[in-house]
Amino acid sequence: MPKYGVPTDPDYNERLAEFEARIQRGEKIEPGDWMPEEYRRQLIRMISQHAHSEVVGMLPEGAWITRAPTLKRKMILVAKVQDEAGHGQYLYHAAETLGISREAMLEALLAGKAKYSSIFNYPTLTWADIGTIGWLVDGAAIKNQTMLAACSYGPYSRAMVRICAEETFHHKQGKEMVLLYAKGTPKQRQMAQDAINRWWWPALMMMGPHDKDSPNTEVLVRWGIKTKTNDQVRQEFINEHAPEILEAGLTLPDPDLRYDEQTGNWLHGPINWEEFWQVVSGNGPMNKERLEARRRAHAEGAWVREALEAYAAKQQKTVVAV
């Protein structure tokens, strides 16, 4: 039997103390080890959301594969979209080790019950958005994922180490693309600026609500699932990206943005959380389209699954016949 402890267990407090001591010592918790049921629940929630985000994240970019301006850019984008699919697989694998089936997670996504990153509910209007997604959206994702690579749960940590190694390519190709546009024709500069204007705030929202409004943060940090808070990760992201964007001769859509000499931080103005919660609750510009595209892909892929099953059944028969 899996050992997921609940507070009503007679030995819960004792086991919890051992468990927390293991995390304090920097040990990884592996499938088969005792863990609080709440630790398991939080991990399934986070990992499946992550997996769904990777899968849905293919949609805004996939639409641009046929419209990439050069063969090189097309190959880069194909590889990037393929990576997102792979990242989804790594993460579903990590979640499965906690006793939830991949099928159940996919059903929750297709039924619209599962959450995924709100950022993918925004439209990609021009080619410059593809570069900006690489630079800002993947940049924000890497900050989060680098933190999660230190996670106390072994399978999640390993998925994240693997993902970060591949994600850095996404970040760099995006940055290169935007910097080239920033040095390009007036029209290209304008496209890059428009894309930055549209993606900057959603990218900051990707790290989630402020710490004071994030009820899960305390327990997540205590159990080593997260090793930094939402606001810490957001600050790291701004400190890295704000000066780079400004150096490229582009501006940021935040009149309050300023560098604080004392702390060395770039301070941002108020974030529109009302917009964030609207998008999270399904009212973003693209929520319906994204889910519809996902359902269509699943339905239209049915014949592939049937063909693979038929082939497998035939192989089985051949083996028996021999």
Partner 1 sequence: MDTQWPRWEVFKQDTPSKPHQAVGSVHAADPEHALLTARNVFARRPQAVSMWVVRADDIFSWTKEELLEANLTHITQPQTTNHKPQAFAVFRKTSHKRSMTFVDYVGEVEARSPEEALKKAQATFTDAEALAWWLVPTAKIVKSDPSQETIESWFAPAKDKTYKQQQYYATVGSHVSKFKVGRGVEDEE
Which positions lie near partner 1, rule CB under 8 A? 1-3, 26-28, 30-34, 72, 75-76, 79, 82-83, 86, 89-90, 93, 96, 101-104, 149-150, 154-155, 157-159, 161-162, 165-166, 168-169, 171-173, 175-176, 179, 239-240, 243-244, 247-248, 264, 308-309, 311-312, 315-316
Task: Kindly provide the b/e burial profile for residues 12-28, where b requires at least 16 CB atoms within 10 angstroms of the residue's own CB.
Answer: eeebbeebeebbeeeeb
Work out how close the CB of 9 gets to partner 1 at its nearest, in angstroms, rounded to a whole number: 15
User: By C-beta, is 141 or 279 nearer to partner 1?
Assistant: 141
Work out how close the CB of 94 gets to partner 1 at its nearest, in angstroms, rounded to a whole number: 8
Work out how close the CB of 30 gets to partner 1 at its nearest, in angstroms, rounded to a whole number: 5
CA 77 to chain CA centroid, nearest Å: 17
CA 148 to chain CA centroid, nearest Å: 11
User: By C-beta, is 45 or 162 nearer to partner 1?
Assistant: 162
Work out how close the CB of 279 gets to partner 1 at its nearest, in angstroms, rounded to a whole number: 29
User: By C-beta, is 17 or 79 nearer to partner 1?
Assistant: 79
Q: Are 261 and 249 in contact (CB under 8 A)?
A: no
User: By C-beta, is 262 or 274 nearer to partner 1?
Assistant: 262
User: By C-beta, is 266 or 276 nearer to partner 1?
Assistant: 266
Is 14 in a helix, a strand, or coil? helix
| Alpha helices (H) along the chain | 12-24, 37-62, 71-96, 102-110, 127-132, 138-148, 154-182, 186-205, 217-222, 230-247, 273-278, 287-300, 302-321
User: By C-beta, is 168 or 188 nearer to partner 1?
Assistant: 168
Work out how close the CB of 213 gets to partner 1 at its nearest, in angstroms, rounded to a whole number: 28
Work out how close the CB of 315 gets to partner 1 at its nearest, in angstroms, rounded to a whole number: 5
Is 116 in a helix, a strand, or coil? coil
Q: Are 94 and 158 in contact (CB under 8 A)?
A: yes
